Amino acid sequence: MDTAHEYEKIEKSAKIKKVIGDSITYILLALWGFIVLFPFYWMVLTSFKSYASYNGEYIPKFYVSNPTFQNYVSAFTTVSLGRYLLNTALFTVITTVVMLIVTTFAAYAFARLQFKGKNIVFVLFLALMMIPNELVVITNFVTITNLDMRNSFPGLILPSVASVFYIYLLKENFEAIPDNLYYAAKVDGTSDFKYLFKVMVPIARPTIVTIVILKVIECWNSYVWPRLITDDPRFYLVSNGIQEIRENGFGRENIPAMMAAVVVISLPLIVLFLVFRRTVMSGVSRGGTKG
């Protein structure tokens, strides 16, 4: 009787402990969620405040009394946000497509084809992974300037189409595909080219999707190279556009309009992420850090 009572007591206290622990966990997790979300909330909120009401609030308000779309209109009319978005979309699509072609061919050569010097070339490739972009950007800047490709799409795109890391990732994936498939295809007289695109690429689709996602995020957010290579606003990408807006955009410190531009710039990737949530998250955890 007594031991049963004791047991119940212990179980009860363990339960209470767990409930308290869980509550604290939820509170702390919610707190971090709040810290993450607050800047997003603030930018959306501010983007709907009118210029006058924003500047009239000495103590910032957490709600909008008279929401206005005027800021979104000025973001597209006063500054060329539309052009920046178009440039960035174009830059992202072309860079990703060209990068994918270059990567697929190189990965195929390393994974499937036999040739003299393969190992040494691959080791040299791997060594290149250690080289930070900051080290090569100086000469690339000079090269592109000498080629007269500043303020042009080729100048923006060319230096970022070859990525050693993505070639490596895809090569590993290609190598996991059984050899038998290849020999069977060879017996049937299938060319390497056809085999690559009819068999290997479809099988490696998850990895290719990962690479595309990482590259799209990288392109959409790229700032340093476009800043070096463009000083003509007609070729600005969104990052440079937002910097331009910040420094001499709306002619005055129009923070609500600035925030409207920030919302427009942030939205495409956030929507993309929410739609392909699982793919993006597993891709990023496979693919490395930001930048």
Partner 1 sequence: MESTVKSNLKAWLYLLPALLFLGAFMVYPLIDVFIYSFEEGYNSASQTSFGTGIYNYSYVLHDPYFLQALKNTLILVAITVPVSTILSLLISLGLNRISKLKELFQTIYFLPYVTNTLAVGLVFMILFKKTAYTDGMINFLITAFGGKSVDFIEGPYWAKMMVLCIYTVWIVMPFKVLVLTSSLASVNPIYYSAARVDGTSNTRIFFRITLPMISPMIFYLVITGFIGAFKAYSDAVALFGTNLNVAEMNTIVGYVYDMLYGDSGGYPSYASAAAIILFSIVLTITVINLLVRNRGVVKG
Instruction: For the segment 99-138, give every residue that binds partner 1 (CB under 8 A).
Output: 101-103, 105-106, 108-110, 113-116, 118, 121, 125, 128, 130-132, 134-138
Residue with tokens 């597209």: 76
Number of residues in the chain: 291
Tell me: does residue 188 bind partner 1 (CB under 8 A).
no
Ranges within 34-63 binding partner 1 (CB under 8 A): 35-37, 39-40, 42-43, 46, 54-60
Task: Give me the long-range contacts of 267-275 (CB less than 8 A, separation at least 24).
Answer: 268/220, 269/216, 269/217, 269/220, 269/221, 272/216
Q: Helix or strand or coil: residue 30?
A: helix
Ranges within 239-258 binding partner 1 (CB under 8 A): 239, 242-243, 246-247, 253, 255, 258
Measured from the CB atom, the residue of 38 and 69 that comes closer to partner 1 is 38
Binding-site size for partner 1 (CB under 8 A) equals 94
Cα separation values, 49 from 66, 83, 215, 255, Å: 7, 24, 35, 9
Measured from the CB atom, the residue of 1 and 247 that comes closer to partner 1 is 247
User: Nearest to residue 273, comparing CAs of 11, 20, 25, 40?
Assistant: 40
> Distance between CA atoms of 221 and 224, rounded to whole angstroms?
10
Tell me: does residue 19 bind partner 1 (CB under 8 A).
no
As measured in angstroms, the least distance from the Cβ of 243 to partner 1 is 6
Q: Determine which helix (DSSP H) or strand (DSSP E) holds 127, and give its type and residue range.
A: helix 118-128
Ranges within 128-187 binding partner 1 (CB under 8 A): 128, 130-132, 134-143, 158-159, 161-162, 164, 167
Among 19, 33, 77, 86, which residue interacts with partner 1 (rule: CB under 8 A)?
Answer: 33
Tell me: does residue 223 bind partner 1 (CB under 8 A).
yes
